[in-house]
Structure 1
């Protein structure tokens, strides 16, 4: 006997996955939605492994929250490294411009003309990732949301309240997990009756940072075997809470503070999907001409998968990201067809064009 599959409720800002019928929400970055299979699954935990200075991961975090505001989802914001009220005031506003101006500066046009005769017959590389159907919105990082909009949204800002100092473990993690549990019971369970369903977007910034570790009831450095122990316990409890709810967790973790690779492996195991940002800022790659079009490399340590044995695999895993004023773009990483002329290349060309002469001569066609 075939049992009819129960359809997903119609909630603003969601869509049903064609692969596994999972309810999806947008991350606020259309190109990210595309590479992870259409969006973030409802009831999942999605991890952003922060870049060294947390510059770009914080931008992605703000896009996620702004997307929830546009879709009228309820927000739950938790952070110990920043003031939640101040963070809300820094959220970007939506923009109607889907594409930025395509006009190129004079120096780029000159560069294109320089290499056009050699690569004119080659198929251009399609680096932009797009599914053809836009899901989510674009945001202008230079324009904050209107203060009146922030006052009218449904939000919950978690503020740490110290527990009994004799309580073993990490009081901040325990306080937050209880707070999230109370919010879920306020109408976000799938078993709750009622037609007006909504999504609870949970954003946790810099989870596991020194600000969180300071609430341990023992010296964190005394026992290296306990590194990340309470964070792993928190993720285990969090994931079990979400499975039968209309909630999505988007969290960032500063992975540099965990020197033990086994800890990061366990963290990735306890989340449903994770991506890692490797920014060029402050490194030698920042001035590398080959990577001049990007701001960093984009890795996917764990593909997002729920209710399926075969997760969505993007066309390529060689990805890079760049930040524009109106877009955070994830693109296919490819090398430019020709770099700027160097003295070494000129010598090579000269030796090929003229036999027995080191001077470069023009070709005649």
Structure 2
């Protein structure tokens, strides 16, 4: 009897992007989503921020809300175990990290209490420590592992408290502080069709995406993770922006060109970006170009 012919059918492999912590597929189109850190905002924008996209936040005059949204976004990344990239021209990224709100998570509180109890009993022996700490804490993994084990999408935060320092540094954070990266005389000088500060920032983001394994077009040798990019007050005078006062048309579209280039870089990457922009500093004619004609 002839051997039974084998079938060519193969089960389709599950998309590896869905295994990234702190993400979920969109019910509408299957696109991978992550939380902005504000569940109500996630609902408004369709369930969350799509991986590979950027979200522009128009700053209010005193940054009461826009800065808080940026901190929620970064804090959510820490809770989910995502890598971070924080860029700013005014406040050092480390200062932004120190202002992050504390997550309202029972498991985080319990882990903090266990760690505190361990530190308070450093003079005791190992056997005494195991008796002092509850049995469920004896085999706790690192803080990051414990946090990423939560299946919840989107978390809530207590703005009256700041995040524990150990939690802040439980994930890898790349920082870009413009005064440290670019000399003052170069920050405002044009570099090709874009000012040097924007070029330097774009190259830094590109380097992290390629070297840290966030390039979706390249094969991955380890479990994929997400890079959260937060850029504070982009387009202000500190970034070398002329806020639409220059008569040179090329200078007037520096910010628009940067956003185009960044959007193209993010499109094929495992990253998402939130940018706050002080739109109240920009003349009305440029606001129309930024938010209506050019970007959408």
**TM-score (normalizing by structure 1):** 0.58
Cα shift at 1:221: 3.4
> Which segment drifts farther, 59-68 or 185-194?
185-194
List aligned pairs for 1:1-365, cutoff 5 A: 7=15, 8-96=17-105, 135-160=153-178, 161-162=181-182, 167-168=191-192, 169-186=194-211, 187-192=213-218, 193-213=220-240, 221-223=245-247, 225-226=249-250, 228-268=252-292
Contact 2:244 2:283 in 1 (8 A): no
Quick one: distance in 1 between partners of 2:190 and 2:66?
Answer: 35
8 Å contact from structure 1 (residues 76, 203) kept in 2: yes
Is the Cα contact below 8 Å between 2:78 and 2:171 reproduced in 1? yes
Query: 1-side partners of 2:269 and 2:35: how far apart?
Result: 17
* 1:27–1:63 contact (8 Å) kept in structure 2: yes
- Contact 1:77/1:156, CA 8 A, preserved across alignment: yes
How many residues in Structure 1 have an aligned counterpart in Structure 2? Answer: 232
> Would the alpha carbon gap of residues 209 and 70 (structure 1) be closer, same or farther in structure 2, given more than 3 Å must change?
same
Distance 1:255 1:137, change over 3 A: same
Cα distance in structure 1, aligned partners of 2:294 and 2:207: 22
> What's the CA shift for 1:52?
1.9
Q: Does structure 2 conserve the Cα–Cα contact (< 8 Å) formed by 1:47 and 1:271?
A: no
Shift of 1:262: 4.4
CA separation in 1, counterparts of 2:292 and 2:158? 31
Q: Is the 8 A contact 2:236 2:281 kept in 1?
A: yes
Unpaired runs of 5+ residues, structure 1, are 98-132, 273-365
Distance between the aligned counterparts of 1:57 and 1:67, measured in 2?
A: 16
Q: Aligned partners of 2:197, 2:102: CA distance in 1, in Å?
A: 31
Structure 2: runs of 5 or more not aligned = 1-11, 107-150
Over the aligned positions, Cα root-mean-square deviation in angstroms equals: 2.6
d(CA) in 2 for partners of 1:229, 1:84: 26
What is the CA distance between 1:210 and its match in structure 2? 1.3
C-alpha separation in 2, matches of 1:60 and 1:84:
15
Larger proportion of helix = 2
- CA offsets 1:136-179 (integer angstroms, 9 cap, x no match): 00001111111122233210001322266574441110000000
Choose 1 or 2 for highest CA Rg.
Answer: 1
Contact 1:75 1:155 in 2 (8 A): yes
8 Å Cα contact 1:15-1:23 kept in structure 2: yes
Aligned residues of 1:213 and 1:220 also touching (Cα < 8 A): no
Q: Does the CA contact (< 8 Å) of 2:244 and 2:282 recur in 1?
A: no
